[in-house]
Chains A and B, each alone.
Chain A
């Protein structure tokens, strides 16, 4: 008993030294591997896309590993200047940004083109966690209001690009921090009220016509089955025709015969559901639940308010991806461009997510750092 215990202790410390959280890593690798198989199927069995996906998985794992080595203390120190820099870059995007696919998301620095909004997915929770953990929890109302303003600034800048999906994710990452920091329920009630009041303003002044169209399509996709409703209708056909057992890997007719749009990116869940059925869906949701549970376990066991809040926010935001993506491809939510986390093809968002998991691992493994 003792020897096995020591053995266990020893392996534990090896991973500890590498700053890797094994259960979390297993969950992540499961999802990444599934992503490889699905991209292969969704791209008509082209290996080129699988290589690309594998390459970005490599980059992302490496990034995660590096980030995991950094003690969480460092983020706290750099929170304010990095946040300010991020905001400046977002303003820069709006002023000089590179236009692609009808939206201004990319910043061209001459040697590299990147999306500042992606980095903000990490910077915002760090910033808000730093801000609210200045004081004792639960947070005071004044702090909550200030925190809200801090969240709103990047959210609106990104919504203006326009990138509804990312601004939604960034807003939720900030709000999760405030929620976990113990904002009073009454305050939450008021905020929900204010948010609902904000919806008409959003509709009238902030949303672009194509975004309104998406909402209209969401409400009644059959209105224009070959136009704007085509995506969601074909997606529901793919999911529904999968049945309980699914059509089998590489056998999904909706995906293989290209009736399904955006198969390897936003609609990869539909490919999965068609080929693996309800049983597969149950398994996939279980894996996501497992990752979320592990993330929340790390948060609860973190030693400091800042790390608790940061870990909790990162985990819940990861779940928002899952919810929004599956919700939109199955017709519960309007179509906003949010990928299925870790599974969809697309390097940028995956790298960001993996860097977030790096932070989670750092929080999980750097137990003794100084406040």
Chain B
């Protein structure tokens, strides 16, 4: 009791007041609890789905799994493009006791440069401790073996294998297959626009050229996914589900790698290209451009030095001459021009002209000369092709005019894309009045028509275009689409667990055929090509002497440098890059052609098509036919009886 003041308390009144206030407070507590509960109710019931989704997106990540790229085989099942493991050395910092010491030891063991070590320590700083960091990106087999033996000493350091593209034939197939290289920004944008970037989320490389690029969608396959649970650091806690990727389709090409090897050997030391095709299908048997380069260099990212070397090489190895180089076709197109003359009724098989060794347009001083100074005398169409008589074709071209020529040549596919299944293709040039007007804004000169008559002037062709045109010729107008892809095969896994390869041959619809008014004209021209090879003294007889498969063909030598009036050509005094190109087209056997070949060789030192290009075509055909002996049943040419009295002092052009 306080002595200072005495309070007389009304206990019951106080108790009542307190009870009232307590009750109010209690009501407040209940109200607040209801508010809290109402709020939790809103979160857990009304917004449940929203928060469940957000909770899942917090913890569930889809890790993309790259599909294995389809393999590429040649027509006989030889592997041309493989996926080969590349070994890298990776470190997970948190699993290593003493990172510095371990890295030093491993580097000493595997002889890893200080440069790579510094790079490693730099990138380690940027990464989380449980994420792998690369110490070496391409270990040699020896390094892999050496490390594997010592692996137990270095927990947290391991060898990781990734599949990368490998081309076992290196430069032999690069121009056809192209190559796969790292997806760059441009590729990524393109994929984005096509809506394909999701499918490439885990993919390292993309086809950059050739078959690899053209059939990218077939080869790539479909991405798989690993659904994992992660924590707030991004560390994978466990795998929730796995959707395996679907591997890309394997491709079988029409190429025959052995023929391809022969082509390379035949062209070694030369600049040029060979295309060999099966005229029955349009399937390309060999297509080789020399010099070539190793596509494997690009798979791992080519060094600036090496790339510069390729870019700056005078021999232009990056150019696929088979489809990208436009060569003057020269005399190889004479059979097609002869056919045009027959079709337009300018000449008949028996029409003859007199060849004095030169041709002159009326009223003009220019003399157009034959390759043989004193001329061939009286020549008909067959003899004109056999001897590659320029005068005959000057006259023919003059009488046909450029428009009729270019219209017919368009139908053979000159001056247009062949439609081959690689993207690197050049249209080359089939000149016409309209073309010259558009290109040079000049009118057409008759003299140019004469040059066109011997496959010169503005006219250029790719070796593939020549092959295609010859195919149409030997097929009597039936046109095939040149192609490299023969079939694809896909791994099918049935729900029962059975797996098998489903092989789908690719069917190429033939193009609208080239129809002549008189079908007998085909044979006139083809027979002339046959005798060009088979007749003693004809321009292509020598290089095919002794061959057993009844070949036919036509030579050509193209002027690269324009000669002045009266000037004589001499390879020895002409600078290397202005020397003549040697051309040759051929097919065999005559009755039922199985192979057509076109050869172009640049700037030959001596001779022309017959001495330089025809032997190359022969090597291809020898390889193709092997020991087969084929004789023509259609005609029985007595090879010993012949009328050729002259031997060429200079190569036919």
- Measured CB to CB, the residues of A under 8 A from B are 134-138, 176, 179-182, 234, 236-244, 253-254, 257-259, 273, 277-278, 281-282, 285, 288-289, 292-293, 296, 299-300, 305, 308-309, 312, 316, 319, 322-323, 326-327, 330-332, 371
Q: Which residues of A contact B51 (CB under 8 A)?
A: 236-237, 239-241
Q: Does B378 interact with chain A (Cβ within 8 Å)?
A: no
Interchain Cβ contacts within 8 Å, total number: 142
- Considering only CB atoms, which chain A residue lies closest to B233 in the complex? A258
> Contacts A136-B7, A239-B51, A296-B22: A332 and B44 contacting too (C-beta < 8 A)?
no
**Contact between chains at A282 and B37 (CB < 8 Å):** yes
**Contact between chains at B230 and A257 (CB < 8 Å):** yes
* Interface hit among B10-18, B263-271, B486-494: B10-18
**Contact between chains at B39 and A330 (CB < 8 Å):** yes
> Contacts A278-B41, A278-B45: A137 and B58 contacting too (C-beta < 8 A)?
no
Chain A nearest CB from B227 CB (Å) reads 14
* Interface hit among B27-35, B180-188, B405-413: B27-35
**Contact between chains at A241 and B54 (CB < 8 Å):** yes
Chain A nearest CB from B4 CB (Å) reads 10
Q: Which residues of A contact B59 (CB under 8 A)?
A: 253-254, 257, 259
Interface centre among A239, A254, A257, A323 (most CB of B within 10 A): A257
A138 to B14, alpha carbons, bound, how many Å?
A: 7
15 A-B contact pairs sorted by A residue (CB < 8 Å): A134-B7, A176-B25, A239-B51, A241-B51, A241-B55, A253-B55, A257-B231, A257-B237, A273-B44, A278-B41, A285-B37, A289-B29, A305-B9, A312-B21, A332-B35
Can you list, as one digit per residue, whether each of B44-64 has a CB less than 8 Å from chain A (1) or not (0)?
Answer: 110110111011101100000
A310 to B229, alpha carbons, bound, how many Å?
A: 51
Q: Which residues of A contact B17 (CB under 8 A)?
A: 137-138, 182
Q: Dominant SS at the A interface?
A: helix
Question: Which residues from 517 to 559 on chain B have a C-beta closer than 8 Å to any C-beta of chain A?
Answer: none
> Contacts A259-B58, A330-B36, A330-B39: A239 and B232 contacting too (C-beta < 8 A)?
no
A136 to B15, alpha carbons, bound, how many Å?
A: 11
**Contact between chains at A371 and B40 (CB < 8 Å):** no
Chain A nearest CB from B550 CB (Å) reads 78
Q: Which residues of A contact B25 (CB under 8 A)?
A: 176, 179-180, 296, 312, 316
Chain A nearest CB from B53 CB (Å) reads 8
Q: Dominant SS at the B interface?
A: helix
Partner of B21 from the list A180, A234, A323 (CB cut-off 8 Å) is A180
A135 to B26, alpha carbons, bound, how many Å?
A: 25
**Contact between chains at B37 and A281 (CB < 8 Å):** yes
A96 to B60, alpha carbons, bound, how many Å?
A: 49
> Contacts A136-B10, A240-B48: A288 and B33 contacting too (C-beta < 8 A)?
yes
**Contact between chains at A292 and B29 (CB < 8 Å):** yes
Q: Which residues of B contact A176 (CB under 8 A)?
A: 25
> Contacts A176-B25, A292-B29, A316-B29: A136 and B14 contacting too (C-beta < 8 A)?
yes
**Contact between chains at B21 and A278 (CB < 8 Å):** no
**Contact between chains at A285 and B22 (CB < 8 Å):** no
**Contact between chains at B36 and A323 (CB < 8 Å):** yes
**Contact between chains at B232 and A257 (CB < 8 Å):** yes
- Considering only CB atoms, which chain A residue lies closest to B32 in the complex? A323
A285 to B30, alpha carbons, bound, how many Å?
A: 10
Q: Does B361 interact with chain A (Cβ within 8 Å)?
A: no
Q: Which residues of A contact B231 (CB under 8 A)?
A: 257-259
Chain A nearest CB from B37 CB (Å) reads 6
Q: Which residues of A contact B364 (CB under 8 A)?
A: none
**Contact between chains at A253 and B58 (CB < 8 Å):** yes
Q: Does B507 interact with chain A (Cβ within 8 Å)?
A: no
Chain B nearest CB from A316 CB (Å) reads 6
**Contact between chains at B232 and A332 (CB < 8 Å):** no
- Measured CB to CB, the residues of B under 8 A from A are 1, 7-10, 13-15, 17-19, 21-22, 25-26, 29-30, 32-33, 35-37, 39-41, 43-45, 47-48, 50-52, 54-56, 58-59, 229-233, 237
Q: Which residues of B contact A259 (CB under 8 A)?
A: 58-59, 231-232
A273 to B47, alpha carbons, bound, how many Å?
A: 14
A322 to B36, alpha carbons, bound, how many Å?
A: 10
A298 to B33, alpha carbons, bound, how many Å?
A: 21
Q: Which residues of A contact B19 (CB under 8 A)?
A: 300
| List of 10 A-B pairs having minimum Cβ-Cβ separation, nearest first | A240-B51, A241-B55, A257-B231, A240-B43, A241-B51, A258-B232, A278-B44, A137-B14, A241-B52, A259-B232
Q: Which residues of B contact A282 (CB under 8 A)?
A: 37
**Contact between chains at B43 and A319 (CB < 8 Å):** no
Partner of A278 from the list B32, B40, B232 (CB cut-off 8 Å) is B40
> Contacts A136-B14, A236-B43, A300-B18: A326 and B36 contacting too (C-beta < 8 A)?
yes
Q: Which residues of A contact B30 (CB under 8 A)?
A: 289
- Considering only CB atoms, which chain B residue lies closest to A234 in the complex? B58
- Considering only CB atoms, which chain B residue lies closest to A279 in the complex? B44
A109 to B13, alpha carbons, bound, how many Å?
A: 47
Interface centre among B33, B39, B237 (most CB of A within 10 A): B33
Chain B nearest CB from A367 CB (Å) reads 15
> Contacts A137-B18, A258-B232: A285 and B33 contacting too (C-beta < 8 A)?
yes
**Contact between chains at A277 and B55 (CB < 8 Å):** no
A338 to B113, alpha carbons, bound, how many Å?
A: 56
A182 to B24, alpha carbons, bound, how many Å?
A: 11
A18 to B10, alpha carbons, bound, how many Å?
A: 32
A239 to B44, alpha carbons, bound, how many Å?
A: 6
Interface centre among A176, A179, A237, A238 (most CB of B within 10 A): A237
Q: Which residues of A contact B237 (CB under 8 A)?
A: 257
- Considering only CB atoms, which chain A residue lies closest to B2 in the complex? A134
A282 to B38, alpha carbons, bound, how many Å?
A: 10
Q: Which residues of B contact A136 (CB under 8 A)?
A: 7-10, 14
- Considering only CB atoms, which chain B residue lies closest to A302 in the complex? B18
**Contact between chains at A241 and B48 (CB < 8 Å):** yes
Chain B nearest CB from A344 CB (Å) reads 16
Chain B nearest CB from A278 CB (Å) reads 5
**Contact between chains at A182 and B21 (CB < 8 Å):** yes
**Contact between chains at B21 and A243 (CB < 8 Å):** no
A277 to B652, alpha carbons, bound, how many Å?
A: 96
Known: A296-B22, A326-B36. 10 other contacts (CB 8 A): A136-B14, A179-B25, A180-B21, A273-B40, A277-B44, A278-B41, A281-B40, A282-B37, A285-B33, A327-B36
Q: Which residues of B contact A273 (CB under 8 A)?
A: 40, 43-44
A254 to B58, alpha carbons, bound, how many Å?
A: 8
Chain A nearest CB from B3 CB (Å) reads 14
Interface centre among B8, B9, B43 (most CB of A within 10 A): B43
- Considering only CB atoms, which chain A residue lies closest to B17 in the complex? A182
Partner of A239 from the list B1, B9, B32, B43 (CB cut-off 8 Å) is B43
A69 to B10, alpha carbons, bound, how many Å?
A: 29
